[in-house]
Amino acid sequence: MLPVELELLLLIVIANGAPVIATRVFGEWGAYPLDGGRVLADGHRLLGHSKTWRGILAATLATGVGAVLLNGSWLIGVTIGMAAMLGDLLSSFIKRRLGMASSSMALGLDQMPESLLPLLAVAGRFDLSGSTIAWTVAGFVVLELTLSPIFYWLGIRNRPY
């Protein structure tokens, strides 16, 4: 049995990796943009073309299944998956407002919301301290920055970040 912090970190990795895997497996099938192509007054898309309904669904389902495989609650997995995607959408929204292209790299902004929000969503259930949350977010940032280039090299990701 893994320590709860490691299980949560693994579930966050699953949530954030599932949309990438879904893109590789399904290509353009089901890749309907969440923002419907809407452009705001600043001239930029609300979220961008890479934020899709398929990605949200893949993250939510995969994380729910992952939680069950780790002998946890599917509901905790679904909560982590949805919160991770909410964090990812928040970072995309901010990046578009800053004029950054869809799928561009923003160190910290790309990793922190999608790891922090899921931990905050389940913090009460697991009695997570602030330092535990901070260390788990830091662990996710390191994992994300380490695994992304490897997944790019393996042909799973389209970009090395």
Task: Output b/e per residue, 55-69; b: 16+ Cβ within 10 A.
Answer: bbbbbbbbbbbbbee
Interatomic CA distance for residues 13 and 17, integer angstroms:
6
Q: Is residue 90 part of a domain?
A: yes
Q: Is residue 160 part of a domain?
A: no
Phi, psi dihedral angles at 39 (to 5 degrees): -115, 135
In tens, the pLDDT along 25-64 reads: 999 999 999 999 999 999 999 999 999 999 999 999 999 9
Q: Is residue 106 part of a domain?
A: yes
pTM: 0.93
Q: Is residue 158 part of a domain?
A: no
In tens, the pLDDT along 97-154 reads: 999 988 888 999 999 999 999 999 999 999 999 999 999 999 999 999 999 999 999 9
Q: Is residue 159 part of a domain?
A: no
158: pLDDT strictly greater than 90: no
Please count the CA atoms within 13 angstroms of the CA of 85 that sit on its side-chain side: 26
Q: Is residue 161 part of a domain?
A: no
For residue 67, what are the domain limits? 4-153
Q: Is residue 125 part of a domain?
A: yes
Q: How many domains does the chain have?
A: 1
